[in-house]
Amino acid sequence: MTPQPFCDILLEGLAPDGGLAVPVSLPRIEAQTLEAWRALDYAQLAAEVLAIFADDIPRDDLAALTRAAYAPEVFPSIAPVKPLRPGLSLLGLSEGPTLAFKDMAMQFLGQVFEYVLGRRGQVLNILGATSGDTGSAAEYALRGKRGVSVFMLSPHGRMSAFQRAQMYSLQDENIHNLALTGVFDECQDIVKSLAGDLEFKRRHHLGAVNSINWARIAAQVVYYFWGWLRATEHSGQQVSFAVPSGNFGNILAGHIARRMGLPIRRLVLATNENNVLDEFFRTGRYRPIPAAQTYATSSPSMDISRASNFERFVYDLVDQDAGRVSELWGELARTGEFDLSALKPLFTERYGFVSGVSSHADRLDTIRSVHRESGVLIDPHTADGVKVARDHIEDGIPMLVLETALPAKFAETIHEAIGQEPPVPEALQDLAGRDQRVEVMDCDVRQVADYIRRHALKA
């Protein structure tokens, strides 16, 4: 297949054959280059790393985009390393407007969408479904941007009060919140059905920012480099990363950084009770569970049974043989599973992956013990990461746990763990009182289509 430029993939979402886009090749970043990057601030580092993937954007333009995305007004503090105990730290990825790590990639996406659409004189109507974090990160990144509108479907009455207030209080004209009287999967089905109607998709210039979006993965690679640079002093040193995982997007970016030569010792994958990926990394068997059997847990953003980015990792496991990947997914469709146990030595030895599971009781224990030992309050997802990270710490190798959300978003579980409410950042203290703007409608594809027809940006 002919390679596609970064900006085309950005607007299309998928590769031309309907599969997931992956880079044709990855350069190796030499120790000397890594050392030179120590002096850069986050926006400068992001421009260096993203230039590798987005070679169709002029360097000066890219630098301006990352400067805007990672400005102090957006991230008052950018990816700080917060020590918990010797050898174990958090990498703070949740300092952005929606208090979750998705802001790190989405803020760059907001800048690059506006830039590319402006240059091409095009418009894009982003259609998505959310159960919380993705929708708000997308809306905060795209609010007020020229040439792009957002239509975000959410399950009416099924998000936390905080998440509702976060999304529905946005008053920007290009942001459309549609609360459907159904569950998340039904919202997702409506998105799939409209995006799968190619005539409708083309006529209304529909786009997506879901977790398979390649530009999001690329932007996430940056903070692995940043974390390594902050946790080491010289080029020979290794660092391990622990990642609370759902759709496998966050940790996939770590895998890419490692393949580019970043000295990562282990990529520690943490799941909650929905442990499909832990089973895979322990046994080589991949057995996703049906959506209806997915547990609703106290780390809800990881309640995923079918990790949409996992295919990109399997592609590397089978030596980038796209035909073999289709065979495996064919087998999955027929039998509900596939077995790569023969390749198990590759998982850890070649690619550095290990995994573990964390339960509700583990989350509460971990939130409590981290708070007691270090005074740091962590959210339930980050707690899953810390729990599993502790089981994989090795002498002399710093372990960085990616902090994927701040505790303020999950007050109920925090209260259950420590008997206190989490602090709310100052900028959000009046959130609950702000006016909300949301369109409630039936879970009906025709009503949603009709709303989009009436409100979509026209070219």
Ligand X SMILES: *Cc1c(COP(=O)(O)O)cnc(C)c1O
Contact criterion met (CB below 8 Å) for 127 and 65: no
Indicate whether 164 belongs to the interface with ligand X (CB under 6 A). Answer: no
Contact criterion met (CB below 8 Å) for 339 and 285: yes
Contact segment (CB under 6 A) with ligand X among 20-28, 243-251, 281-289, 357-365 equals 243-251
CA atoms within 13 A on the CB side of 331: 13
- In angstroms, what is the minimal distance from the CB of 215 to ligand X? 14
Contact criterion met (CB below 8 Å) for 257 and 243: no
Contact criterion met (CB below 8 Å) for 360 and 276: no
Indicate whether 246 belongs to the interface with ligand X (CB under 6 A). Answer: yes
In whole angstroms, what is the distance from residue 319 CA to residue 317 CA? 5
Site for ligand X in 117-136 (CB under 6 A): 133
Smaller CB separation from ligand X, 114 or 362: 362
- Write down the H helix ranges in 74-132: 102-120
Contact criterion met (CB below 8 Å) for 141 and 117: no
In whole angstroms, what is the distance from residue 184 CA to residue 167 CA? 16
Indicate whether 249 belongs to the interface with ligand X (CB under 6 A). Answer: yes
- In angstroms, what is the minimal distance from the CB of 404 to ligand X? 3
In whole angstroms, what is the distance from residue 278 CA to residue 245 CA? 10
Sheet holding 239-244, edge to edge: 81-85, 88-92, 399-403, 239-244, 264-271, 353-357
Smaller CB separation from ligand X, 149 or 220: 220
Indicate whether 250 belongs to the interface with ligand X (CB under 6 A). Answer: yes
Indicate whether 297 belongs to the interface with ligand X (CB under 6 A). Answer: no
Smaller CB separation from ligand X, 63 or 424: 424
Contact criterion met (CB below 8 Å) for 144 and 74: no
- In angstroms, what is the minimal distance from the CB of 372 to ligand X? 23
Indicate whether 91 belongs to the interface with ligand X (CB under 6 A). Answer: no
**Near ligand X by CB under 6 A: residue from 111, 125, 136, 245:** 245
C-alpha distances in Å from residue 171, one per residue of 143, 273, 436: 9, 37, 8
- DSSP SS3 for 299: coil
Site for ligand X in 133-162 (CB under 6 A): 133
Smaller CB separation from ligand X, 149 or 247: 247
Is 102 a residue of the active site? Answer: yes
- DSSP SS3 for 338: strand
Indicate whether 211 belongs to the interface with ligand X (CB under 6 A). Answer: yes
Which one of the listed residues 102, 145, 387, 409 is annotated catalytic?
Answer: 102
- In angstroms, what is the minimal distance from the CB of 445 to ligand X? 26
- In angstroms, what is the minimal distance from the CB of 314 to ligand X? 15
**Near ligand X by CB under 6 A: residue from 247, 271, 297, 305:** 247
C-alpha distances in Å from residue 111, one per residue of 47, 72, 219: 13, 15, 12
- DSSP SS3 for 345: helix
Smaller CB separation from ligand X, 165 or 456: 165
Contact segment (CB under 6 A) with ligand X among 15-23, 78-86, 248-256, 450-458 equals 248-256
Nearest to 18 by CA among 4, 37, 30: 4
In whole angstroms, what is the distance from residue 202 CA to residue 26 CA? 32
Smaller CB separation from ligand X, 117 or 242: 242
Which string of x and - marks every residue 376-405 that binds ligand X (by CB under 6 A)?
-----x----------------------xx
| Size of residue set near ligand X by CB under 6 A | 16
Catalytic residues: 102
Contact footprint for ligand X (CB under 6 A): 100, 102, 133, 211, 244-250, 301-302, 381, 404-405
